[in-house]
């Protein structure tokens, strides 16, 4: 193993420790055909258009945004499941984008993915024991006996009975299948896991079980997560820091400040749209309801990509693309009007609420 190179990182605060995962200028473009007025046209769709991220070891970075914003593609491109068009992805000091297939395969055991739909990601003709053991076969880990032992231990770790290893995926409920997906991701003892909407398809009660499982696994194995989701409450619960994506770009990133003092208008709108399970809060809230839909990523708006739906947009927004700028406290936002000086941003949530009536 070569010495881990020092990551040049002009933007991020100097913590003295190189992050486990460091992404710079990541771009992914897909060739698409779209129906034009006369005939099919070929165009480029920039799903990820220049993303910078750092994930320190042992932390969870939440990546949020609405469908089509490029958050899943970012996750896949970091793991090289989707080769990036441009940019750099460093994992523990190793540049992944230039690795050969064989070198990449060796690295893969250290980073894994948990998918949204465990039913689609498990082979229906393999028993769950076979599915969980498969990565060990591929990577030549252990012998038959030790692999069986590992499978049994893992099933227990994720809260399933080891006796169920002979069963097939269809015999399990959605929440149980997600546990199997997690066991499979853990089998090679990875350091880094990209979890792509792992709880979105689950019912609330089962969702909470899975969230708790992901948390306790992180504590137990010192895992680093990239947690991709659209549910801001879940992301805040699980993540150390959060990055908000819109149309292929990161518009805001930071710690709790992002929820408490969101600087980017899109983050404000997103937070304001999340329903709160409390009628007292809901009746007093004033929502910032965004008009319109997300524009096509094939022809994104000039300048700031959010300007077509932004209530603050002015001429400069159409001409100049705002860069991510530091707002203090580890918070960064890409908006011309989100300066650390100037009027304080509107709080997205009305926090004060009447005390609940005394319980009978």
Partner 1 sequence: MALLEVHDLRTQFRSRAGIVQAVDGVSFHVDEGEMLALVGESGCGKSVTAQSIMRLVPTPGGEIVGGQVMFKGRDILTMPARELRSIRGGGISLVPQDPMTSLNPVLPIGRQITESLKVHLGLRGAAARARAVDLLDMVGIPAPATRLRSYPHQFSGGMRQRVMIAMALSCDPSLILADEITTALDVTIQAQILELLKRLTRELGTAVIFITHDLGVVAGMAERVNVMYGGQIVERATTVDLFDTPRMPYTWGLLGSVPRLDQPRQGKLRPIDGYPPNLAEPPPGCRFAPRCAFRRDVCLEEPPALVSVPAADGRIQEARCWGMREPGDGGWLRGQSWRAALREQNREQNEVHHA
The footprint of partner 1 on residues 31-70 (CB under 8 A) is 66-67
What is the closest distance, in whole angstroms, from the C-beta atom of residue 194 to partner 1 in the complex? 21
Specify whether the CB–CB gap between 115 and 198 falls below 8 A. yes
Q: Which stretch binds partner 1 (CB under 8 A): 49-57, 114-122, 170-178, 334-342?
A: 170-178
Q: Is 356 in the site for partner 1 (CB under 8 A)?
A: yes
Q: Check binding of 313 to partner 1 (CB under 8 A).
A: no
282 makes contact with partner 1 (CB under 8 A): yes
Pairing of strands 192-196, 224-229: parallel
CB of 35 to partner 1, least distance (A): 10
The interface mask with partner 1, positions 129-168, x = CB under 8 A, is: ----------------------------------------
Q: Are 77 and 21 in contact (CB under 8 A)?
A: no
- Report the b/e string of 281-303 with b at 16+ CB within 10 A: beeeeeeeebeeebeebeebbeb
Q: Which of 212, 302, 319, 346 binds partner 1 (CB under 8 A)?
A: 212
Per DSSP, the residues of 31-42 read: EEEEE-SSSEEE
User: Between residues 100 and 360, which has the closer beta carbon with respect to partner 1?
Assistant: 360
207 binds partner 1 (CB under 8 A): yes
- Is 289 a binding residue for partner 1 by CB under 8 A? The answer is yes
| Lookup: tokens for 66 | 């609405």
3-state secondary structure at position 110: coil
- Taking the complex as a whole, how short is the minimal distance between the CB of residue 273 and partner 1, in angstroms? 4
Nearest approach, Cβ of residue 342 and partner 1 (Å)? 25
The verdict on 281 binding partner 1 (CB under 8 A) reads yes
Smallest separation, CB 258 to partner 1 (Å): 11
Which range in 50-58, 88-96, 141-149, 278-286 contacts partner 1 by CB under 8 A? 278-286
Q: Segment contacting partner 1 (CB under 8 A): 73-81, 97-105, 123-131, 208-216?
A: 208-216
270 contacts partner 1 (rule: CB under 8 A): yes
Q: Which residues contact 145 (CB under 8 A, 6 or more apart)?
A: none
The DSSP output letter for 165 is G
Q: What number of other Cβ atoms are within 10 A of residue 149's Cβ?
A: 12
Count Cβ atoms below 10 Å from residue 33 Cβ, excluding itself.
Answer: 10
Helix (H) / strand (E) element for 95: namely strand 94-95
Residue by residue, DSSP assigns 238-298 as H-SEEEEEETTEEEEEESTHHHHS--SHHHHHHHHHS--S-HHHHHH----PPPS-PPPTT
**Stretch of 16-24, 74-82, 297-305, 345-353 lying at the interface with partner 1 (CB under 8 A):** 345-353
What is the smallest separation between the CB atom of 173 and partner 1, expressed in angstroms? 5
Asked if 234 touches partner 1 (CB under 8 A), the answer is: yes
Distance of closest approach, residue 67 Cβ to partner 1, in angstroms: 6
Stretch that binds partner 1, among 83-91, 160-168, 283-291, 323-331 (CB under 8 A): 283-291
CB 75 within 8 A of CB 48: no
User: In 3D, which of 86, 93, 66, 69 has the Cα closest to residue 26?
Assistant: 86
Q: Smallest distance, Å, CB 350 to partner 1?
A: 8
Site string for partner 1, 292-311 (x = CB under 8 A): -x------------------
Instruction: Identify whether the C-beta of residue 25 lies closer than 8 Å to the C-beta of residue 88.
Output: yes
Report residue 243 as tokens: 């990055």
Q: If you ran DSSP here, which 8-state letter would residue 169 be given? A: G
Interface residues toward partner 1, by CB under 8 A: 66-67, 173, 175-176, 203-209, 211-212, 215, 230, 232-234, 236-237, 256, 259, 269-283, 285, 287, 289-291, 293, 349-351, 353, 356-357, 359-360
């Amino acid at each position: 193993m070569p010495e881990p190179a020092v990551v040049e990182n002009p933007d991020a605060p100097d913590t003295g420790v190189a992050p486990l995962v460091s992404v710079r200028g990541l771009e992914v473009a897909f060739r698409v055909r779209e129906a034009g007025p006369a005939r099919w046209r070929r165009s480029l769709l920039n799903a990820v258009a220049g993303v910078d991220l750092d994930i320190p070891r042992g932390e969870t970075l939440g990546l949020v945004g609405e469908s089509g914003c490029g958050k899943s593609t970012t996750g896949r491109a970091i793991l090289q499941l989707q080769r990036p068009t441009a940019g750099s992805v460093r994992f523990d000091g190793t540049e992944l984008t230039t690795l050969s297939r064989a070198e990449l395969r060796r690295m893969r055991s250290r980073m894994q993915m948990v998918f949204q739909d465990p039913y689609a990601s498990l082979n229906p003709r393999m028993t769950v024991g076979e599915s969980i053991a498969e990565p060990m076969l591929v990577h030549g880990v252990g012998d038959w006996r030790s692999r069986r032992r590992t499978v049994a231990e893992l099933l227990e770790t994720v809260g399933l009975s080891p006796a169920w290893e002979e069963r097939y995926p269809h015999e399990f409920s959605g929440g149980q299948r997600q546990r199997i997906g997690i066991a499979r991701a853990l089998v090679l003892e990875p350091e880094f896991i990209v979890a792509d909407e792992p709880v979105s398809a689950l019912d609330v009660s089962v969702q909470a079980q899975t969230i708790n499982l992901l948390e306790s696994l992180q504590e137990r194995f010192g895992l680093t997560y990239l947690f991709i989701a659209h549910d801001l409450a879940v992301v805040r619960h699980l993540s150390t820091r959060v990055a908000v994506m819109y149309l292929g770009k990161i518009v805001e990133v930071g710690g709790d400040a992002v929820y408490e003092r969101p600087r980017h208008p899109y983050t404000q709108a997103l937070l304001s749209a999340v329903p709160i399970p409390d009628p007292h809060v809901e009746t007093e809230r004033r929502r910032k309801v965004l008009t319109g839909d997300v524009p096509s990523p094939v022809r994104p708006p000039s300048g700031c990509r959010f300007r077509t739906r932004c209530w603050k947009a002015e001429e400069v927004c159409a001409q100049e693309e705002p860069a991510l700028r530091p707002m203090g406290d580890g918070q960064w936002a890409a908006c011309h009007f989100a300066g650390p000086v100037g009027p304080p941003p509107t709080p997205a949530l009305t926090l004060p609420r009447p005390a609940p009536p005394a319980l009978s």
